[in-house]
Amino acid sequence: MTEYEPVIGLEVHAQLLTTSKLFCGCSTNFGAPPNTNVCPVCLGLPGSLPVINERAVEMAVRAALALGCTIHGESIFARKNYFYPDLPKGYQISQYEEPLATAGKLEIEVDGVRRTVGITRIHMEEDAGKNVHGVGGDSLVDLNRAGVPLVEIVGAPDLRSSAEAAAYLRALRDVLVFVGVNDGNLEEGSFRCDANVSIRPKGSDKLGTRCELKNLNSFRFVQRAIDAEIARQSAILDAGGQVEQETRSFDPDTGQTSTLRSKEEAHDYRYFPEPDLPPLRVDSAFVTRLEAALPELPSAIRARWVSAGVPAALAQTLTQHPGYVRFFEALCAKYPNRVKAANWMATEVLRGAEVHGLDATFTVTPDQVAELLDLVERGEISGKQAKDVYAAIERTDRMPRQIVEERGMRVVSDEGALRAACEAVVARFPDQAATFRAGKKGVLGFFVGQVMKETGGSANPKLVSELLTRILEQG
C-alpha cells in the first residue's frame, strides 16, 4: 500500500479588538441586544460611505509585523460578491490581489522538533452578520457583527500532520494575544479556522487535490477533523479513486467530515476593487513606530527564561497567556529564584487562574507569593506549612507573614526544645541508630522524618538534621 504524506494549510480569521467597526463608528461590543450596534454604513443602506478605522489598520499591521511579514505601503480593498442573508450589502469588503502584508513566518514545535511555517498573506476584511435559526420556526438575522474588523491570515501548505496544524494554531493565537490584537477565543468565534487538507504519495513534491474543512471551533476539533479527513482521502486513493475538491464540514458527534459544497457549487465572487475606498496607504514611519512598540513575543520570553534556568516545560506553561507572564515577572522581581517561583506558580497559582480574553485573574498576588516563598527559603516555615498558608491567603489581601504569626506557625528553631525531641527519637530506635553508626548515613532521613512527625511538621528540618547527626555520632 502507498504511504501518504498529508499537506495542510490553515486560513485563520481573527477579530481585531477595536472598540468600533472597520468602516463605521458602531460599537463592536459582544452580546449587545440584536441589531442595536448598526448604522446605515454597516446595514448597507444606499448612499452611505465607508471610512476606514485607523485603529484596525494599526492592529492588522502589528499582527503582520509580529508574524514577520512584509507590509505593503499600498494595498487595495476589494468587493467579494455573494448573496447571503447575513450580508446586507451583497458583498463583503475584503482585500484580494493586493493585500496588506505577505511572506511571513511562524515557528512551531512538535515533540521537541522545531519548524518554521510560512505565512502567505494577511489581509483586512469586515465580518458578516449572524443568522439565528429556529426562533419560533423562523430564521432571524443579527447584524451587530456585520462590519467588525478581521484579519485573514493565510498559512502556506507547509504543515505535515494534524499535530503540526494544532501547534501552528496555538502559536498563532499566542502571538496575536501577546500583541494585544485578538482575544484568541475559538469557542466564541473571535478566532476562526478553516483547514485545507490534501495527501500525496510520500516523496512526491506535487500537491494533491485539497478539501477545505469548516466548522472547527476548538483546537481538539481541528486535530480530529484533519485526522478524519486524512483517513477519508487515503481510503479513496487506496481504492483507486480520486479526491474531489470541495468544502466539507466536520461533525464532532460522528467524528466525520461530510460535503458542504462541491466544486460545481463553489462561489464565483467576482472580486473587483472597492470604488468607495481609496487605496490603503501605510507609510514607513507609521510601520516603524508600530514595530518599535511591539511587545516581547512568547517564543522570545521562553528563550530568555530557559537561559535563566527555568525548565522548558514550565516556561511553555507560563507563557500561555500574557497575564501569566506579567505575574511571573512581578513575582521574580521580588523573589529571584526563578525555578522555585516557576514551580510554585505552575502547580499552585495557575490552579486558581482564570483567563478572559486578554485578561487573566488570579486568587493571589505576586507580592503574596513572593513573601511566602521567601519564608520557606529562610527556613521560617516548612514546605508543608507553606501550602496551608497559601490556602489561607487565597482570595484575601492578607500577607503570609500575618498568617504565620497568627497561627504560631513559625518553625521551631529553638535548639533546647528540638534537642529533647531528637534525643527521644534516637533512644526509641536503637537498631536504626546502630545502623547509622555502622556507616549507613542514609538512615538519617528516617530520624528526621520521625522528629518532623512528632513536632507536627513545625520543626526546622535543617536544624533537626544537624542535631540528630551530632547526637548519633556522639552515641
- Binding positions for Zn ion, rule: CB under 5 A: 24, 26, 39, 41-42
Work out whether strand 191-201 and strand 149-155 pair parallel, antiparallel, or are unpaired.
Answer: unpaired
Pick the piece of the chain touching ligand ADP (CB under 6 A) from 79-87, 149-157, 223-231, 435-443: 149-157
Name the minimum Å distance from CB 20 to Zn ion: 8
Binding at 8: pick from ligand ADP, Zn ion, none (beta carbon under 5-8 Å per type): ligand ADP
Name the minimum Å distance from CB 301 to Zn ion: 38
Pick the piece of the chain touching ligand ADP (CB under 6 A) from 45-53, 152-160, 257-265, 439-447: 152-160
Closest CA to 389 of 375, 400, 373: 400
Interface positions, 179-198, toward ligand ADP (CB under 6 A): 196-198
Residue 10 or 375 with smaller CB distance to ligand ADP: 10
Look-up of cell digits 533537626? 464
Name the minimum Å distance from CB 118 to ligand ADP: 8
Closest CA to 164 of 230, 211, 101: 230
| Cell numbers for 462 | 535543617
Rounded CA separation 51/392 (Å): 54
Q: Considering the rule CB under 6 A, would residue 154 count as an interface residue with ligand ADP?
A: yes
Rounded CA separation 163/63 (Å): 24
Pick the piece of the chain touching ligand ADP (CB under 6 A) from 61-69, 203-211, 284-292, 391-399: 203-211
Rounded CA separation 454/460 (Å): 13
Rounded CA separation 90/283 (Å): 32
Name the minimum Å distance from CB 143 to Zn ion: 9
Binding at 80: pick from ligand ADP, Zn ion, none (beta carbon under 5-8 Å per type): none
**Which residue among 99, 104, 155, 400 contacts ligand ADP (CB under 6 A)?**
155
Q: Considering the rule CB under 6 A, would residue 9 count as an interface residue with ligand ADP?
A: yes
Q: Which residue is nearest to ligand ADP (CB)?
A: 9
C-alpha dist (Å) from residue 280 to 5, 63, 471? 40, 17, 82
Binding at 154: pick from ligand ADP, Zn ion, none (beta carbon under 5-8 Å per type): ligand ADP
Work out whether strand 246-251 and strand 211-214 pair parallel, antiparallel, or are unpaired.
Answer: parallel
C-alpha dist (Å) from residue 102 to 61, 69, 92, 119, 193? 11, 5, 21, 7, 19
- Residues at the contact surface with ligand ADP, assessed by CB under 6 A: 7-11, 154-157, 196-198, 207-208, 210
